[in-house]
Amino acid sequence: MFGQHFLILPVVLPLMAAPLCIIFGHRLFAWLLATLVSGLSFVISINLLLAALEQGVLSYAVGGWEAPWGIEVRLDAASAMVLSVVTGISTLVLIYAKASIETEIDTNQHTLFYTAHLLCLTGLSGILSTGDAFNLFVFLEISSLATYTLVSLASDKRCLTAAFRYLVMGTIGATFILIGVGMMYMQTGTLNMMDLADRIAEIGGSRTLNTGLAFILVGVSIKLALFPLHMWLPPAYTHAPSAVSAFLASTATKVAVYVMVRFIFTIYGAEYVFHTMGMDLILLLLAIVAIFKCSFMAMAQSNVKTVLAYSSVAQIGYMILGISLASAAGLMAGLLHVFNHALMKGALFMAVGAVLYRTGSVDIKAFRGLGKKMPFTMAAFVIAGMSIVGVPLTAGFVSKWYLVTAALEQQNWLVAFLILLGSLLAVIYIFRIIETAYLKKPIESAANKDIKEAPLLMLVPMWVLALANIYFGLDTSLSVAAAESTSNWLVFSTLSEGGVQ
Amino acid sequence: MNFIIDYYNYWVVVFLMMAGFYTVIAANNLVKKIVGLNIFQTSVFILYISMGKVAGGSAPIVADGITVYSNPLPHVLILTAIVVGVATTAVGLALVVRIKHAYGTVEENEFKHKDDLI
């Protein structure tokens, strides 16, 4: 009966469910509804991914208005892959959140949490499925506004200033994107992405288009926390509730990376951005500085959530590094890292949230002796930590491997060496925490005695992600196939349009 | 000289944009930061609206004897962007209210710890 309408469901379902959570105002009902809707979106996204892998591009005209007049919903393998990751992580986080937010968010604000989470999911799915540049801005702001609210829900008052900083930076970023889209419209007279790509290839560059690209790249870089525009991220992830950190770290910045890929490869074309504008060198330098600077920052922190936040910025560096190599292999490695990093950071933040739930602290001192007291939580932390480092048999190894291969393909020995060196830095900040958990004696006190394993509802989603890290480290066929088809498609489409010109 | 007069709408936009941006960066008071953010966004609204003007075009309403119309699409787009801007302002101001309750101040230099700085 639904047929073609399936394409819009991951956007519409959470949007419809969000107000219901508030109207009924019942915590358990809101949790069940949110989890159900998110799970349903996940199942639909997986089906869409399989369909996209088979057919190439899925298109749907919203309200029956054909593109380029109406807003087109357009899913290809790249967007369907990220959409599956986002909805999947969202479902796991929602299952996890029920127990987690009990200690971190006021009881009467729980329904608000589920509402904001669903709205954020709506925005993220919208960004991934829209084929319209202005529509993308609107969905970006829907997800961002929900995100600011989510961050400010924590009971620690520092979350408020963190959310405010995030709001100011995020709004400036979004407004920059709006300016850029305006410039593109000024020159081309269209907002449909495919139309834009055709007309930009026809015009072949002008000052207006260059300025638009500059605004868009800076705006998206703020949203995806590319060094040096990452200053909002560490406080926001540190002070947000753990469930929110887990969700945002593994989805929001990833979707922003996707937006950057879209603008660079689909709309402007790799040729134009990298060769005419010379963005590859700038992005490459910023990515490498991000990897090193933020890995060093991660080593120096005592708050484990801050360690993970800085590690996120460093890992985003790897994704941008892959993109900046300007080759099919590099883009594929970057997209693969988007997928894998979502799995590892989700699991890590969930493990830290479980520690916070039991010990009431996320300082590294609170981790002493937890290897014995919370064996399952810490084991999941170790697996995901290994994945961040890039130990073989984990998902992190696969993406690092493809990144190094992509760098070597261009005889870029220095970059390949720096990627490996960056992984060594990850060893230091991850093993500092693991060492504290397993080798240091716990501080004996009355409060510490009754620390026990986290509840099952938190352990299960955490372990699903941890095992996914191993599964996608061993069997790479699905993730690599998705990333490969997308990167081939993206690069191919720009090349063929270059040929027309 | 023509360069200035022909593009005067863009000069207005650039001036407002920079004034708003400067206020966001330099203001000490969080409410003023939000005001700066608003001016910054408004400048972009004007950029879009002035973009839709077609020389000699009338309002985009079908009427006898009129052949040239202004482009209505940017105006419609900017309606959406205005809604987004209002929502952002509302969330920002709500955060400022809660910051005032939690910290007792909305002046940036009165926060005690370095971590709390915006």
3-state secondary structure A415-482: HHHHHHHHHHHHHHHHHHHHHHHHHCCCCCCHHHHCCCCCCHHHHHHHHHHHHHHHHHHHCCHHHHHH
Q: Give residue ranges of A with CB < 8 Å to any B CB.
A: 134, 137-138, 141, 145, 148-149, 152, 157-158, 160-161, 163-165, 167-168, 171-172, 174-175, 178-179, 182, 185-186, 235
Highest mean pLDDT among A68-77, A293-302, A357-366, A369-378: A293-302
Band of pLDDT at residue A441, cut at 50, 70 and 90:
confident
Nearest to B91 among A137, A145, A158 (CB): A145
Mean pLDDT computed over A427-440: 87
Specify the number of domains making up chain A.
1
Q: Is B45's Cβ below 8 Å from some Cβ in A?
A: no
Predicted pLDDT of residue A230: 86
Sign for the CA dihedral angle at A242, A246, A249, A255 comes to negative
Interface contact A172-B95, CB threshold 8 A: no
How many Cβ atoms are within 10 Å of A197's Cβ, its own excluded?
20
Q: What is the DSSP letter of A326?
A: -
- Find the helix packing angle between A395-409 and A328-359, rounded to 10°: 150
pLDDT higher than threshold 50 for residue A497: no
State the smallest CA–CA distance between residue A172 and chain B in angstroms. Answer: 8
Interface contact B95-A160, CB threshold 8 A: yes
Q: Show Cβ contacts of residue B86 under 8 Å, excluding neighbours closer than 6 positions.
A: none
Q: Which residue of A has its CA nearest to B100?
A: A160
Neighbouring C-alpha atoms within 13 Å toward the C-beta of A451: 27
Mean pLDDT computed over A177-197: 88
3-state secondary structure of A296: helix
Contacts of A165 in chain B (CB under 8 A): 118
State the smallest CA–CA distance between residue A165 and chain B in angstroms. Answer: 5
CB A150 within 8 A of CB A113: yes
Interface contact B47-A158, CB threshold 8 A: no
Band of pLDDT at residue A359, cut at 50, 70 and 90:
confident
State the smallest CA–CA distance between residue B109 and chain A in angstroms. Answer: 13
Q: Quote the CA–CA distance of A254 and A244 in Å, as a whole number.
A: 15
3-state secondary structure of A60: strand
CB A129 within 8 A of CB A74: yes
For A85, phi then psi, to 5°, come to -60, -50
pLDDT higher than threshold 60 for residue A207: yes
Q: Which residue of B has its CA nearest to A155?
A: B102
Interface contact A157-B103, CB threshold 8 A: yes
Q: Is B13's Cβ below 8 Å from some Cβ in A?
A: no
- The tens digit of pLDDT for each residue in A228-265 reads 888 889 889 988 898 999 999 989 889 999 999 888 88
Predicted pLDDT of residue A495: 46
State the smallest CA–CA distance between residue A176 and chain B in angstroms. Answer: 9
Angle of CA points A47, A53, A54, to nearest 5° = 90
Q: Which residue of A has its CA nearest to B32?
A: A168
Q: Over the range B60-97, which residues count as b (16 or more CB within 10 Å of their CB) and which as e?
A: eeeeeeeeeebeebbeebbeebeebbeebbebbeebbe
Number of H helices, E strands in chain B: 4, 0
CB B57 within 8 A of CB B69: yes
pLDDT higher than threshold 70 for residue A493: no
CATH code of B7's domain? 1.10.287.3510
Q: What is the DSSP letter of A95?
A: H
Q: How far is C-alpha B55 from the geometric centre of its chain's CA atoms?
A: 25
pLDDT higher than threshold 70 for residue A447: no
Q: Quote the CA–CA distance of A206 and A202 in Å, as a whole number.
A: 11
State the smallest CA–CA distance between residue B112 and chain A in angstroms. Answer: 12
CB A459 within 8 A of CB A392: no
- The tens digit of pLDDT for each residue in A315-342 reads 999 999 988 887 888 888 888 888 889 9
Interface contact A172-B40, CB threshold 8 A: yes
Band of pLDDT at residue B89, cut at 50, 70 and 90:
very high
- pLDDT over 90, % of chain A: 23
Mean pLDDT computed over A156-169: 88
Band of pLDDT at residue A174, cut at 50, 70 and 90:
very high
Q: Where are the beta strands (DSSP E) in A72-141?
A: 72-75
Residue A433 is encoded by which pair of tokens?
A: 């925490």
Q: Which residue of A has its CA nearest to B118?
A: A165
Band of pLDDT at residue B117, cut at 50, 70 and 90:
low
Q: What value does the mean pLDDT of chain A take? A: 85
Contacts of B92 in chain A (CB under 8 A): 164, 167-168, 171
Nearest to A138 among B84, B91, B102 (CB): B84
3-state secondary structure of A69: coil
* Structural domain harbouring A350: 3-500
State the smallest CA–CA distance between residue A265 and chain B in angstroms. Answer: 25
CB B35 within 8 A of CB B13: no
Band of pLDDT at residue A496, cut at 50, 70 and 90:
very low
Mean pLDDT computed over A335-352: 90
Q: Is B99's Cβ below 8 Å from some Cβ in A?
A: yes
Band of pLDDT at residue A446, cut at 50, 70 and 90:
low
* Structural domain harbouring B35: 2-116
3-state secondary structure of B64: coil
Predicted pLDDT of residue A3: 67
Predicted pLDDT of residue A2: 53
Predicted pLDDT of residue A499: 35
Confidence (pTM)? 0.90
Q: Residue B63 is inside which H or E element, if any?
A: none
Q: Quote the CA–CA distance of B105 and A147 in Å, as a whole number.
A: 24
Predicted pLDDT of residue A501: 31
Predicted pLDDT of residue A325: 85
Residue B96 is encoded by which pair of tokens?
A: 């400022």
- For residue A384, the one-letter residue type is A
Please classify residue A192 by burial: count the beta carbons closer than 10 Å to its beta carbon, then call 0-12 exposed, 13-18 middle and 19+ buried. buried
pLDDT higher than threshold 90 for residue A29: no
Contacts of A168 in chain B (CB under 8 A): 24, 33, 37, 92, 118
Mean pLDDT computed over A168-175: 92
Q: How far is C-alpha A39 from the geometric centre of its chain's CA atoms?
A: 18
Interface contact A138-B102, CB threshold 8 A: no
Predicted pLDDT of residue A473: 82
pLDDT higher than threshold 90 for residue B86: yes
Contacts of A178 in chain B (CB under 8 A): 44, 81
* A2-6, A153-157, A238-242: least confident range: A2-6
Size of interface A-B (CB pairs under 8 A): 74
| Most B CBs within 10 Å, among A158, A167, A238, to test the B interface | A167
Q: Show Cβ contacts of residue B48 under 8 Å, excluding neighbours closer than 6 positions.
A: A182, B74, B75, B77, B78, B81
Mean pLDDT computed over A93-108: 85
Q: Quote the CA–CA distance of A153 and A148 in Å, as a whole number.
A: 9
| Most B CBs within 10 Å, among A105, A134, A175, A231, to test the B interface | A175
- The torsion defined by the Cα of A410, A414, A416 and A417, in degrees rounded to 10, comes to 160
Q: What is the DSSP letter of A156?
A: S
Contacts of A115 in chain B (CB under 8 A): none
Band of pLDDT at residue A70, cut at 50, 70 and 90:
confident
Specify the number of domains making up chain B.
1
Contacts of B81 in chain A (CB under 8 A): 137, 178
Candidates A121, A74, A128; CA nearest to A255 is: A128
Residue A305 is encoded by which pair of tokens?
A: 């959530």
Interface contact A172-B37, CB threshold 8 A: yes
